[in-house]
Amino acid sequence: MRQLVVREHERVPVVASAVSGKYITQQELDALLRVCEKHAVAPFIPGYRSIKFAQFCGVIQVAGLTVEVLPKVADNDTYDRGTLLRMLAIASEFPVRSLQNHKMDLQTHSLLPALARWFCDEVFAQCHQGLICSYVVQHDDLPVIRGRWHPALDMQRFPGRKDRLNCEFDELTSNNPHNQVLKAALRRVKALFPGHAAIRRDAETLLAWFCDVGDVEVTRDDLRRLPSNRLVARYKYALMMAEWFLTDRAMDLSSGRSESFSLLFDMNALFQAVLGCVMRKALPPGFTLREEGPRYFLTRGVDGTARFQMKPDFCILQGKTIHAIIDAKWKRLDPDDKGGKWGVGQADVYQLNAYATAYACPRVALLYPGHNGLADESSRPCFSFLTQGNTAAGPQLLVDWIALEPKDEWPNWKAGLQHGMASVFERVGVVN
């Protein structure tokens, strides 16, 4: 199977036949369009003899082609794969040990095998503790009464028979919906890697643990109806990853049939989720964090109806006072921008100016992902909002960034991110 590694927002030529370099044939493009047609937002935009990938990262697999879309952070495949996996781990609050085992895999494997091995390792950890058993309602004709007896049914089905008693009873079994989901995901993983002996072996080994679990087709509604309680709490991460392989939408991702598959993450939403998780850990005492709120209106019509609701990504409050507003931007800063704007979009500045005015907040910031061209020790650009073109209005806009892959060793990388976020808070004025 041909492997194609691209970056988000990269343009790839569409050709009639194979050429050197990166390319997609017209037949492959047609297959990609079919597998991605259920996306609410297209993961790529077809153009004239080319396609341009959007802000989605992950994997798209069709017959004969696997497209791996990586975040545009360092332009290094191993680094960027690690960045994406770390972001998924933080946003979903996966344990650190789940990623430590894949540090070497990222150097030799693409993203989809790494995700599959990650999932298999998590399922193995749960199987090692024993499959969860739960009581499932069963109906059967028994020679003795067990549970609730239904004599009316016996009179209809077996009149005069005393050895056939229709009973309804609870059976403690591993054949329950939670294990059925994991088994279905393992079967899907096995089907996705016909030529990958190690992953197929791992999946087959794990499927042997589920020999008493029924084979069922799992839908997104089935996943939503799964009961959640303390007895199944340890399955949390395994079920999250099973959703990646089974549903057509999970955290803005999609999946097709076994021969065609897509697992794509909206990087704007993922980056915002990552920042939210890190902020909650690094926030100084005395402050509270509001995500996507409070939602004020920017205008009021002549009829008195408020319109144009605002939704800042993060508001940091001290009591009831909004102390600072931070907006996440999954874009690449350019410190060499000749205009001195650092590549900041003009619309983003307008947006933060509106927040500063409407929320009466003197501290607003745009927070970007760090990359190799941005040094942690560098001073951050800061802009004063003006009135009438020349008078500083008071509020200031800070442009900041946070390194998504700190230099710390793997056991300490979450602590490194929290330390980086604490520095962001200090620069924006969120200190005790």
The pTM assigned to this predicted structure is: 0.81
Dist. CA 336–CA 378, nearest whole Å: 13
Dist. CA 187–CA 203, nearest whole Å: 7
Burial class (CB in 10 A: 0-12, 13-18, 19+), 386: exposed
Burial class (CB in 10 A: 0-12, 13-18, 19+), 283: middle
Read off the pLDDT of residues 226-285 as tens digits, 9 standing for 90 and up. 888 888 889 988 998 898 888 643 333 344 344 567 888 899 999 999 999 999 999 999
Dist. CA 248–CA 256, nearest whole Å: 7
Contact 363, 397 (CB under 8 A): no
Query: Rounded to the nearest 5°, which phi and psi values hold at 235?
Result: -85, 0
CB atoms within 10 A of CB 228: 11
pLDDT of residue 271: 94
User: Which percentage of the chain shows pLDDT scores above 70?
Assistant: 90
Q: Which residues contact 377 (CB under 8 A, 6 or more apart)?
A: none
The rounded mean pLDDT for the chain is: 84
pLDDT of residue 330: 93
Mean pLDDT calculated for residue range 27-43: 80
> Which of residues 218, 239, 268 is at a domain's end?
268
Same domain, 15 and 99: yes
Same domain, 222 and 117: yes
Q: Which long-range contacts (CB under 8 A, 24 or more apart) does 33-40 make?
A: 34/62, 34/260, 35/60, 35/62, 35/254, 35/256, 35/260, 35/261, 35/262, 36/60, 36/254, 36/262, 36/264, 38/248, 38/249, 38/254, 38/256, 39/254, 39/262, 39/264, 40/249, 40/252
DSSP state of 58: E
276 belongs to a structural domain:
no
User: What DSSP string describes 220-235?
Assistant: HHHHHT----GGGGGG
pLDDT of residue 106: 53
Same domain, 255 and 301: no
Read off the pLDDT of residues 76-111 as tens digits, 9 standing for 90 and up. 888 888 888 888 888 887 765 555 554 445 545 678
Same domain, 403 and 349: yes
pLDDT of residue 249: 39
pLDDT of residue 411: 53
Mean pLDDT calculated for residue range 7-17: 88
Beta partners for residue 58, in sequence order: 69, 264
Dist. CA 358–CA 315, nearest whole Å: 13
Same domain, 230 and 319: no
Query: Rounded to the nearest 5°, which phi and psi values hold at 94?
Result: -70, 150
pLDDT of residue 255: 41
Mean pLDDT calculated for residue range 396-423: 79
Contact 398, 428 (CB under 8 A): yes
Read off the pLDDT of residues 337-383 as tens digits, 9 standing for 90 and up. 888 899 899 999 999 999 999 999 989 999 999 887 787 666 888 98
Range of the domain at 158: 134-173
277 belongs to a structural domain:
no
Same domain, 235 and 299: no
User: Residue 294, preceding bond cis, omega within 30 degrees?
Assistant: yes
Identity of residue 207: L
Same domain, 182 and 167: no
Continuous H helices in 288-408: 346-358
Same domain, 302 and 350: yes
Nearest C-alpha neighbor of 102 from the set 81, 123, 87, 76: 81
User: What DSSP string describes 119-148?
Assistant: HHHHHHHHHHH----EEEEEEEEESS--SE
Same domain, 291 and 423: yes
Please report which confidence band the pLDDT of residue 152 belongs to, taking 50, 70 and 90 as the band edges: confident
Same domain, 104 and 151: no
Q: Which residues contact 238 (CB under 8 A, 6 or more apart)?
A: 119, 122, 123, 126, 182
Q: Spell out a b/e string for 365-374, using b for 16 or more CB atoms within 10 Å of the CB, else e.
A: bbbbbbbeeb
Q: How many domains does the chain have?
A: 3
